[in-house]
Homo-oligomer: A and B are copies of this chain.
Amino acid sequence: MNKPEELCRLAKQASLKTAVLPHEVRRAALKKMAAALSEHRDLILKANLEDRQRAADENLSPVLIKRLLIDEKKLEDMAAGLLSLARLPDPLGRKTLKRELDQGLILTRRTVPIGLVGVIFEARPEALVQIAGLCAKSGNALLAKGGREAEASNGVLHRVLREAQIGTSPDWENGFLLLHTREEINAILSMDEYIDLLIPRGSNQLVRHILDHTKIPVMGHAAGICAMYVDKTYDREKSLRLIRDGKTQYPAVCNAIETLLVHRESADILPRLLEIMPEVEIRGCGETQKIISCLPASSCDWETEYNDLILSVKIVETLQEAIDHINAHGSRHTDVILTEDKKAAEEFLNRVDSSSVMWNCSSRFADGYRYGFGAEVGIATGKIHARGPVGLEGLCIYKYILEGNGHIVDDYARGLKSFTHRDLI
Using a CB–CB cutoff of 8 Å, the interface residues on chain A facing chain B are 16, 19-20, 99, 101, 105, 107, 114-115, 196-197, 211-212, 215, 217, 219, 235, 238, 241-242, 244-245, 249-250, 327, 345, 349-351, 353-362, 364-366, 370-372, 382-385, 387-389, 397-410, 412-413, 419, 421
List the B side residues contacting A366 at CB < 8 Å.
Answer: 400, 402
How far is it, in angstroms, between the C-alpha of A326 and the C-alpha of B124 when the chains are bound?
40
Contact assessment for A399 and B370 in the assembled complex, using a CB-CB cutoff below 8 Å: no
A contact patch SS? mixed
User: Looking across the interface, which residue of chain B has its beta carbon closest to that of A108?
Assistant: B349
Q: Tell me whether A408 and B242 are in contact in the complex, defined as CB-CB below 8 angstroms, given that A397-B383, A400-B356 are known contacts.
A: yes
- Asked whether A245 lies within 8 Å of B408 as measured between CB atoms, the reply is yes
Closest 5 interchain pairs by CB? A361-B404, A245-B408, A364-B409, A372-B421, A196-B383
Q: Which residues of B contact A349 (CB under 8 A)?
A: 401
Complex Cα gap A401–B352 (Å):
11
Say yes or no: A403-B196 contact (C-beta < 8 A), given A353-B115, A408-B249: no
Assembly CA distance A19 to B323 (angstroms): 14
Say which residue of B357, B385, B403 sits within 8 Å of A384 (CB atoms): B385
The CA of A402 and the CA of B334, in the complex, are separated in Å by 10
One of B217, B351, B409 near A217 (C-beta < 8 A): B217
The answer to whether B99 touches A217, judged by C-beta atoms less than 8 angstroms apart, is no
A sample of 27 inter-chain contacts (CB < 8 A) reads: A20-B351, A105-B361, A107-B372, A197-B383, A211-B215, A217-B217, A217-B383, A242-B408, A244-B408, A245-B408, A245-B409, A249-B413, A250-B409, A345-B403, A354-B399, A355-B400, A356-B401, A357-B399, A357-B402, A358-B401, A359-B404, A360-B405, A361-B402, A361-B405, A364-B409, A365-B404, A389-B400
The docked-state distance in angstroms from the alpha carbon of A114 to that of B332 is 12
Q: Which one of A212, A364, A372 has the greatest number of beta carbons of chain B within 10 Å?
A: A372
* Contact call A360/B249, Cβ cutoff below 8 A: no
Residues of B within 8 A of A385 (CB): 384-385, 397
Cα(A361)–Cα(B406), bound, Å:
5
Task: Give the nearest-CB partner of A115 in chain B.
Answer: B383
